[in-house]
Structure 1
């Protein structure tokens, strides 16, 4: 076992009572539903942003339909920049509330569901959010057809996905499931493949989005998007087997048990040798800060390119697809070649990924032309590796009985992040939109630099780690510990 994989548990006294699925290293499990879910999301998000901008323009700011219809088009004309700024400034408050509503219930549920899944299984953590997304997708289709509804009515469509756990619970369940069904030696690769399936869905969706808008229109595109989520849900229900044998079926009452929260905090914050508790918390927070940035930029990336570079939907989706594709191939190249043959540890490679992300954000902040944006993408080809490598490292150094609890803590932190980051990022963007809209990327660079410091501290502790060997006592041993 390498130093990077040395466990930070005080002993082997805890036995793993959760049975795993028989070894099939490359059996497709979570890759398919996550691919379809992210394909759906990437098709939907630009359309929703455009609809929010359009209905803000018409219903909240009382401009004419003729003036506002440009927001629904994949192309952009030389419309008044003052109108663009006015609409974007108001729409940021809608998107801020949107992200908050999407995050409240998942943040609360995350405190319960990690420990709950150790008894009741991982599959509910996957099927429940997908069902919520399916219902929300149907409501969004209805909303898009009712043109008299203003932008604030869109918030109501988000309640089902929020109450079902959203992406926070979905990804917690997916990573716990992947940890259950993979061996240690294959885990980094399988985590990367899982992330790659997410990236592939985003790439294909971004490429198809402007073409489908022109071909079928916004309403039918939203209907197609929702159909993809329904397919992901049906596939999971029928094909994906529960990873824990002997899992007991549990309902809502079994979820909302405060003892689950106490157990999670007790095991995540207990003292461990070699400053293990500090290492776990620093890794969890660093990973959660990447989600903090993701939610902060989710709605602003598109608006920034409209404001700074005067892009329309077509230019943005092409850039988004190229960005995701480069990250996709960079992740595979990194794990399968760089890490394998150069023997770079998960932790060291995660630090490299964060450093590339800092360069990426700095270039975007000062971009003045299109090629600057593509340069930032090329420099950040390993940026997407930080999260799967951190999660992979945690599964290698934690006792197996604690993995789901730590992932649940990470999910809770990730669930809380969207409650804060949209307010921070939208407020900053609103305050600097006329002066320096790239300020949001300076903030991203600063947050990512904090992640580098955290991982550097973890690396320092791991260098200082003293290997401890435990010997199993046999019945004939006459001494006791």
Structure 2
């Protein structure tokens, strides 16, 4: 049974609206959240590698002089396989819980405001960091990493944080500025990830695994306090509403099944499919890149892994600059097509990278790869009404979660299965999959009553 709405005036009694110190923007939350995640992600993969190496008696040597001579070592392959599979288990655990909760919480935020979801998601990330610290400090079973991911998903996790953040940007931006504002939000992800990655590798070599996790915990505490007391609510008239009701899920379903003058069900569904494929490739490649770099023939140490992770996040910033410049000359859809082309090239280079310079060449080719998602998010946002933004970005968060599950299932299973005949095959698969959104974007723009592909603004 659905709960009754309270009057608008009752919104003042919501905890989310209490004691705001100042009306701050949402970008610091995304920055702090992704800094903590980017600091923990490669460290968790390397910790799993180290833990399984120790347990299986593998000497763990990754020195460039002799790593290449161990390409046929069965113990090394077992270490790679276990690390890949436990990464998959963590992602599945987070997805199975997050698929329900992220969609529920995002639509709920359309009624109660964005702050409650931002606070809950921040607490979830904080809780996961606490569990990770216990695993590293006390040597607990690596299965507790899965528990931490599940607990985080119960409170919305990073997908819930992004859903509320993108919805808050949509609340306050115009149609003209929305694409760039969403790219700016994604740039916060990239800058944070770059800085965290540059810090994480050298810090791991100097002081081990524990201290970087403690820094992540401190940042997440700061992030939670900012969400609770400093974020400026963007929903004009928050209302109290029950969380546990099917109304929130039904609001998401209605986006795709009920016609409305301002939206096209076909466009919503196909743009969502395009986002699904792009996110699947991005997260699938991200899941195996650290493992790919640690093992033969690259044999990177933690310092190089940190540099590689920084290069992996740099496109968030370069894509923002590229988007701003290209928008003077090209419509958004063409900018997305260019980004997809460079993304495909980068994946092909990764597939055949056997030396460090070639690997960084692949990273360099991704410099425009992340213009794609802000363009598609902005297009989706313009297809729904103001009161549906939270539901929309909850649906996008659901698509992201499903894509992450598919990415882990495909890439983390395919990677160990192809070690013996072509280690880089998952990257070639990713390059092939990216032709799907490229075709979809072109078809959708041609089918648009005001197609962007039929005119080009003059460069200024």
**Alignment TM-score, normalising by the size of structure 2:** 0.86
The CA deviation string for residues 176-210 of structure 1, in whole angstroms up to 9 with x for no partner, is: 01111223332222211111110001110111112
2:131 — aligned with what? Answer: 139
Match of 1:171 among 139, 162, 166: 162
Offset at residue 38 of structure 1 (A): 1.4
- Please say if residues 330 and 381 of structure 1, whose CA atoms lie closer than 8 Å, have aligned partners that are also in contact: yes
Offset at residue 464 of structure 1 (A): 6.4
Matched, 1:130 2:116: no
Kindly report the root-mean-square deviation, in angstroms, between the aligned alpha carbons of the 2 structures.
2.4
1:313 — aligned with what? Answer: 302
Aligned positions of 1:374-453 closer than 5 A: 374-453=360-439
Matched, 1:458 2:444: yes
1:260 — aligned with what? Answer: 248
The CA deviation string for residues 34-82 of structure 1, in whole angstroms up to 9 with x for no partner, is: 11111111221222112212222334x3x27xx35x58xxx76735442
For structure 2, list consecutive stretches of 5 or more residues without a partner in the other structure: 1-10, 12-22, 453-460
Offset at residue 260 of structure 1 (A): 2.3
Matched, 1:195 2:186: yes
Q: Bigger radius of gyration, 1 or 2?
A: 1
Match of 1:94 among 80, 86, 98: 86
Q: Distance in 1 between matches of 2:144 and 2:111?
A: 39
Matched, 1:36 2:27: no
Offset at residue 332 of structure 1 (A): 2.9
Q: Distance in 2 between matches of 1:140 and 1:152?
A: 10
SS in structure 2 at match of 1:299: helix
Offset at residue 430 of structure 1 (A): 1.1
- Please say if residues 343 and 369 of structure 2, whose CA atoms lie closer than 8 Å, have aligned partners that are also in contact: yes
**Alignment TM-score, normalising by the size of structure 1:** 0.83
- Change in Cα spacing, 1:214 to 1:114, as seen in structure 2 (3 Å) is closer
SS in structure 2 at match of 1:298: helix
- Change in Cα spacing, 1:85 to 1:270, as seen in structure 2 (3 Å) is same
1:5 — aligned with what? Answer: none
Offset at residue 241 of structure 1 (A): 2.0
2:337 — aligned with what? Answer: 351
- Change in Cα spacing, 1:136 to 1:430, as seen in structure 2 (3 Å) is same
Offset at residue 173 of structure 1 (A): 0.8
For structure 1, list consecutive stretches of 5 or more residues without a partner in the other structure: 1-17, 19-26, 467-481
1:153 — aligned with what? Answer: 144
Q: Distance in 1 between matches of 2:399 and 2:294?
A: 31
The CA deviation string for residues 100-150 of structure 1, in whole angstroms up to 9 with x for no partner, is: 112222111233233322211112221111101111111211111112x33
Matched, 1:282 2:273: no
Q: Distance in 2 between matches of 1:207 and 1:162?
A: 27
Offset at residue 264 of structure 1 (A): 2.0
Q: Distance in 1 between matches of 2:35 and 2:338?
A: 28
Offset at residue 431 of structure 1 (A): 0.7
- Change in Cα spacing, 1:409 to 1:242, as seen in structure 2 (3 Å) is same
1:474 — aligned with what? Answer: none
The CA deviation string for residues 393-449 of structure 1, in whole angstroms up to 9 with x for no partner, is: 222343323333222222112222233321211111111012111111111112211
- Please say if residues 268 and 405 of structure 1, whose CA atoms lie closer than 8 Å, have aligned partners that are also in contact: no
Matched, 1:115 2:101: no
- Please say if residues 102 and 160 of structure 2, whose CA atoms lie closer than 8 Å, have aligned partners that are also in contact: yes
The CA deviation string for residues 220-260 of structure 1, in whole angstroms up to 9 with x for no partner, is: 1211111111111111111102211331244xxx2231232
1:47 — aligned with what? Answer: 43
Offset at residue 158 of structure 1 (A): 2.3
Q: Distance in 2 between matches of 1:274 and 1:398?
A: 6
- Change in Cα spacing, 1:134 to 1:275, as seen in structure 2 (3 Å) is closer
Farther-moved stretch of structure 1 (292-301 vs 170-179): 292-301
Offset at residue 376 of structure 1 (A): 2.1
2:457 — aligned with what? Answer: none
SS in structure 1 at match of 2:31: helix
Q: Distance in 2 between matches of 1:46 and 1:115?
A: 32
Q: Distance in 1 between matches of 2:388 and 2:344?
A: 32
Match of 2:313 among 297, 320, 324: 324
Q: Distance in 2 between matches of 1:106 and 1:114?
A: 11
Aligned residue pairs total 426
Matched, 1:302 2:290: yes
The CA deviation string for residues 438-469 of structure 1, in whole angstroms up to 9 with x for no partner, is: 11111111221111111111111115679xxx
